[in-house]
Chains A and B, each alone.
Chain A
Amino acid sequence: GENVEQHPSTLSVQEGDSAVIKCTYSDSASNYFPWYKQELGKRPQLIIDIRSNVGEKKDQRIAVTLNKTAKHFSLHITETQPEDSAVYFCAASPPGSYIPTFGRGTSLIVHP
């Protein structure tokens, strides 16, 4: 089955800095890569996603890049704000099912 590795497990930045979270996946057939944000005690919420036929996608301050050859994808957050503090999960889904295998999560802390 699919295996998703995520790094770092904890990321601490100053407000206004950029943050990058990296993930690798094992199944070359996976073709859908969502990212979820989970605030403390709350449900995971989808923040951005990318399909394998696209190399990069941007939505305001967040962007995701995908390298299919290397089987890795990354989340980039620019101009971080304290409200960006949360646990971020990457995930990978095989074709047809879209049911994700999640990474272990990255705890992002943005210091004001």
Chain B
Amino acid sequence: EAGVAQSPRYKIIEKRQSVAFWCNPISGHATLYWYQQILGQGPKLLIQFQNNGVVDDSQLPKDRFSAERLKGVDSTLKIQPAKLEDSAVYLCASSSNPGQGVERTYGYTFGSGTRLTVV
């Protein structure tokens, strides 16, 4: 089974520029999550989708971050404009059962992440 695909792996941008990350979940997984992992910290949930609908975006800084999953499959996360404090690894994860994100049996899987450096 293919894993969660993310691109790009690395991105360096200047502050105030825009950036977008892409995620393709495991085939058939209805639920998709975006996490932000700042260096030295655990992943923090930014947004959760079920199919093409948003379930939870309470921790997404909506003034600069946006995310979409138009066809209920792949997803993009955008930052516009970027700030220095946005430097982090952005992880995507998917699961087959909504609300059962981390059950081993439901196949909650992280992608390899995109490392963003804002200079």
The answer to whether A104 and B41 touch across the interface, beta carbons within 8 angstroms, is yes
Residues of B within 8 A of A89 (CB): 42-43
The answer to whether B102 and A105 touch across the interface, beta carbons within 8 angstroms, is no
Which positions in B face A, CB cutoff 8 Å? Answer: 33, 40-45, 48, 56, 91, 99-104, 108, 110-113
Query: What are 13 pairs between A and B in contact, CB < 8 Å?
Result: A32-B102, A43-B112, A44-B91, A45-B110, A46-B104, A49-B104, A91-B102, A93-B101, A93-B102, A97-B101, A98-B102, A99-B56, A104-B41
4 more A-B residue pairs beyond the given contacts A6-B42, A99-B56, with a C-beta to C-beta distance below 8 A: A99-B45, A102-B43, A102-B44, A105-B40
User: Interface residues of B: mostly helix, strand, loop or mixed?
Assistant: loop
The answer to whether B99 and A102 touch across the interface, beta carbons within 8 angstroms, is no
Interface size class of A (residues with CB under 8 A): 20 to 34
Distance (Å) between the CB of B6 and the closest chain A CB? 9
Most chain B CB within a 10 A radius of its CB, from A9, A34, A91, A97: A97
* Minimal Cβ-Cβ distance residue in B for A89: B42
**In-complex Cβ contact of A105 among B42, B48, B100, B103 (8 A):** B42
A9 to B82, CA, bound (A): 29
The answer to whether B99 and A97 touch across the interface, beta carbons within 8 angstroms, is yes
The answer to whether A44 and B110 touch across the interface, beta carbons within 8 angstroms, is yes
The answer to whether A99 and B44 touch across the interface, beta carbons within 8 angstroms, is no
The answer to whether A98 and B42 touch across the interface, beta carbons within 8 angstroms, is no
* Minimal Cβ-Cβ distance residue in B for A32: B102
A98 to B102, CA, bound (A): 6
A108 to B33, CA, bound (A): 27
Residues of B within 8 A of A49 (CB): 102, 104
The answer to whether A102 and B42 touch across the interface, beta carbons within 8 angstroms, is yes
Residues of A within 8 A of B101 (CB): 93, 97-100
